[in-house]
Structure 1
């Protein structure tokens, strides 16, 4: 399912979905939401004024999206219009989608850019993987970068990346980064530091072992780097076709729906990002 609002990034998302549909044969569902802006209350000199509810009509956008997909060769398309809160309607409509695709920045009813609101909310709450599409810095890249921290969701992200690479022939680059905390004992000996590095390298190797045996035809590279994971992934995204992250990792606070690393990557990555649960 692709959310479409006519913005530049929504058109990028539409093209991304078209490529996926042509590659996999999956049908496409396009959703446009007639966004409602709540009434505004105000008053001067004791007089209460209530403005009318504002509705941004998106019905014409569906025809535009359908034509764009047809021009790209995609014919198995259904369209749908809903009215209400954009995020709520998208989440409800995506309940039975295999993946939800949105542009990085869209338009609200007031015409404002929406990174950090719609995209972030969908990445937090959707029950299926969410793809946030933006123009890649390196359009020729054949590398899928995936963040690994040993959590259940990072393993789901790795599985997503490897299965995709199995179909596309791309290389998977598994990156495990960590914030470096130098122990006081390092002043006298390098042993504690070496033990810490070996533990991180072991975590990465164990995470990849099963995938390499189950998907022998996929080229999997790996890097363990003592740099904050969000920085590792954002830097790697400059030469990636896609970055895949779990919705939350080992260090998330109880009840947090989207981890700090995932949020940082969504904001700063230089290619499309997939958030997997």
Structure 2
């Protein structure tokens, strides 16, 4: 990301704002809890842009969150080309339908759950794990905007109960988060009970987004990334699969009760 134009803009703005505030790199560093040499390294592009650093910089320089917002733009610019069309569709959606057979969907993941899932790929460095966690959490901001999309997700009971001793704390936090999420009128989580042994959704995860124009677009995840689907026939097939998957899941109230039972079973 450091070679991206937006990343260079962040460094330029940081330097300009610091100088306009009459602060040397050493003085500014003390205020943001970094050394002067670290500040210099950030401004010169010799040190990766750091969310904590930029958050503190925004506070010290009273920018209204400018630098952190620019970082989010840089991270979005740095996303692979196959994902960008879907990010646009997700951001502009009025309705989102999401099914995942093995994980809690990303828009409803807690930070700790997201980190555990992403860290399972042992080919990723710690910095890359944290970057991906941050991007995933930033995408959740779509649910907190003034007019959020209606999000309907379907998850498997087995996903909620996948918790050995080392993972149970993270899962208890995650399922508790789901229960709180569905208190919002625009979020629904439906659970497919364990006794439903097979259905069409088990072939793989997918998400559908409907925009303001009423048109649909879909996204399929796979081991190498994902694919955005916009061909009418393919989207129609996925809508039909969604209806089939949704019909296997419990109603809203029963799903919430099952989630509460899952959490209580661990205490």
TM-score band, normalised by shorter chain = under 0.3
- Greater share of helix: 2
* Larger proportion of strand: 1
